Structure 1
Amino acid sequence: MVLNKIFDLLSLTQTSVGRYVFIVLLSLLSAVIFLLIFKKTSNQKKIKYHKNKIFGYVLQIPLYKDRFGVLFSSIGQILKHNALYVLHTLASLIFIIIPLIFIMVQINNRCGYAPLAQGQDFLIQVTLNDTADQATLEGVSCELSPGIVLETPALRVEDEKQVFWRARVVDGSPENTSSIRIQLEGHSPVIEKYLATAYNQQRFSPEKKQPSFWNRIFYNAEGYLPADTPVTEISTEYARAGYPFLFWQVDAIILFFILTLIFGFALKGVFRVNL
């Protein structure tokens, strides 16, 4: 995917610090892009007009707090101008949502998950298409790279067309490139999915799926499964990664939103944007 290669250029190191810096840089860049989009696609004069009206009527409330007619009129005007303000911003938000989705996917692919730790147990799930029969399900086998071991035999669920294994990381050295290799009896080649056991991969995701419109948008971190195989998905378990913000550990997507809002409000005067 072209976007993956573009965002690869913004990635620094594959450490936790490098991922944090990536989120900060992308938040700053996103804030600038969203401000420019908002400025170009919104009626700035109308937004400023309605904001001033709201502010004026809010100031009017304590001045006429004993005159209920004026008080209720002010509240009504605040609601009216607030609705008109929101209406003028909605069109711009629609234009912002499209790039926002692609940016969020990239952040999730690169910073959303923590690699598997040494000694950690995890689940491997293989899903076949609806046409797969019991023989095809029985012919699914799993091989893991050195440093990862299977702890249970395959659990095959015919009704769901799924096969499960439990595995464990016994050697999570950064120099190891770990993977899951799925073989179907009578089919070739072997289907492979990357398995993150260290911060040595720019992009990784719990799921690897066959290409489709939605999968190309949301599940593109590691490429796609071959379209001519009965296997529609290989998935595993990763914990969500946490990043420090003030006194909390927050999710990568939440950190991105917080920083983008902070940068947006800090830079709105520079770009002369009414929000």
Structure 2
Amino acid sequence: MWVFNSLFGKLFDGIFFFFLNMSPWVSMIVVSLLTGMLMLSIFRLTSNQEGIKKAKNKIKAHILELRLFQDNLGISLRSQGKILTTNLKYLSHTAKPMLIMIVPLVLVLIQLNFRFAYLPFQTGQHALVKVILKPDLNPSETAVELTPLSAGIVVETPGIRIDEEREIDWRIRITGEGRHEFAIESGGEKVIKRIDAGGKSLRTLSPIKVGAGFLDQLFYPAEKPMASTLPFQSVTITYPDRKMNLFGWKMHWIIAYFFLSMVFGFGLKGVFKVDF
């Protein structure tokens, strides 16, 4: 799974490479355009276009029939029934491509989240490092240490243990820009977590490092997973949230992404000769 995640992530690194120093809106427009084109291509290849066109034409005909004979109860009821059954047939034609599109769309959303959802730390900012132990371990009975491996990180508090959550927290301060690392150690074993400060804001930021489980790797592919022998379930760092700013109106990135992708999808459906 990590090999796939690494290669897929490099693909997005290549796309974003040209926009790292630009406004997030530039890259948002580009990835939304590419998404719209990808979804249209998938829809065209996997859908019954002829069946969709016939179903839509029948629905229009029955709606027209309903308007023309609205004073005739029998014809109106029959038209409504035909509209319902034709709608179900239309949905059956669109269900297959929609289900197929979910897979690449989820993979794309996961990659975009690590680029649009967070901001890199700035010098002087604080961050919370959270370690979750595996279910059979108690924080109060487990020796765990956080050790900076870079000069740009200072640990300001000892580990605070929350037994009910199997959680240990530290507060750290960022003292310099760059890609820094720290180690979480327990029983002679350790995991190394990276943290990014300053620099280009659209690079991949990894707020959490997880184990080697399939779903963990699927949803958190930004860093190589931890070995299964480690006593840690996850290591998290609280990056600042990013909001897309449109003339003073701040929104979550996924709102902008879906809106622009839909605009491009509808705008280009004629070019791709897709009916839906």
The interval holding the TM-score normalised by the smaller chain is 0.7 to 0.9
Q: How big is the shift at 1:159?
A: 4.0
Report whether the alignment pairs 1:14 with 2:20.
Answer: yes
The residue identity in structure 2 corresponding to 1:57 is H
Give the 3-state SS of the residue equivalent to 1:233 in structure 2.
strand
Unaligned runs of 5+ in 1: none
- Structure 2 stretches of 5 or more lacking a match? 1-5
1:3 counterpart = 2:8: yes
Which aligned pairs between 1:12-161 and structure 2 lie closer than 5 A? 12-15=18-21, 17=23, 19-132=24-137, 137=142, 139-144=143-148, 145-161=150-166
| Residues 59/246 of structure 1: CA separation in 2 closer, same or farther (3 Å cut) | farther
Alignment of 1:261 onto 2:262: yes
Q: Please give the residue correspondences for 1:210-229 in structure 2 after superposition, counting only pairs within 5 Å.
A: 210-229=211-230
Task: After TM superposition, give the deviation of residue 5 of structure 1 in Å.
Answer: 1.4
CA-based RMSD of the aligned residues comes to 2.5
The aligned amino acid for 1:206 is: P
Please say if 1:196 is aligned against 2:196.
yes
Write the deviation string for residues 221-267 of structure 1: whole angstroms up to 9, x where unpaired.
12222333212210022343222457743322222221211111111
Q: Please give the per-residue CA displacement for 1:19-63, whole angstroms capped at 9, x wherever unaligned.
A: 433332222222222212111211111100111122222233333
**Does the Cα contact within 8 Å between 1:113 and 1:238 map onto a contact in 2?**
yes
Secondary structure in 2 aligned to 1:177?
strand
C-alpha contact (below 8 Å) 1:107/1:252 kept by paired residues: no
Instruction: Give the match for residue 231 of structure 1.
Output: 232
Give the TM-score taking structure 1 as reference length. Answer: 0.86
- Seq. identity, %: 32
For 1:199-223, what per-residue CA distance to the aligned partner results, in whole angstroms no more than 9, with x for missing partners? 4372113211112211221111122
Question: In the comparison of the two structures, how many residue pairs are matched?
Answer: 268
What TM-score results when the alignment is normalised by the length of structure 2?
Answer: 0.85
Distance 2:68 2:241 in 1: 51
